[in-house]
């Protein structure tokens, strides 16, 4: 949606933005399912899986890692 609005603004003559910061939601909040991105986050220097697991448990009501 952010890209669509930005393109619409550019086509209607608004100033071209200096940059766009895009984000995406976490779509898989299951603590029991394996995903390929899990392997990537296990070795991530900035956002480790242990932090993601804490956030998921805080976000999902009654989350249980077992």
> Tens digits of per-residue pLDDT, 9-58?
999 999 888 988 887 666 666 767 777 777 777 777 777 777 777 877 77
Give the residue extent of every domain in the chain. Answer: 2-59
Using CA atoms, how far apart are residues 29 and 60, in angstroms rounded to an integer? 8
Q: Tell me if the pTM is above 0.75.
A: no
Q: Locate tokens 């898989």: which residue?
A: 28
Using CA atoms, how far apart are residues 9 and 42, in angstroms rounded to an integer? 40
Using CA atoms, how far apart are residues 44 and 46, in angstroms rounded to an integer? 6
């Amino acid at each position: 949606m952010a890209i669509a609005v930005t393109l619409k603004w550019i086509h209607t003559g608004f100033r071209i933005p200096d940059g766009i910061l895009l984000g995406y939601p976490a779509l898989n909040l299951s603590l029991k399912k394996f995903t390929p991105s899990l392997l990537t986050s296990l070795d991530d220097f900035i956002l480790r899986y242990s932090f993601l697991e804490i956030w998921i448990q805080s976000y999902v009501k009654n989350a249980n890692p077992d």
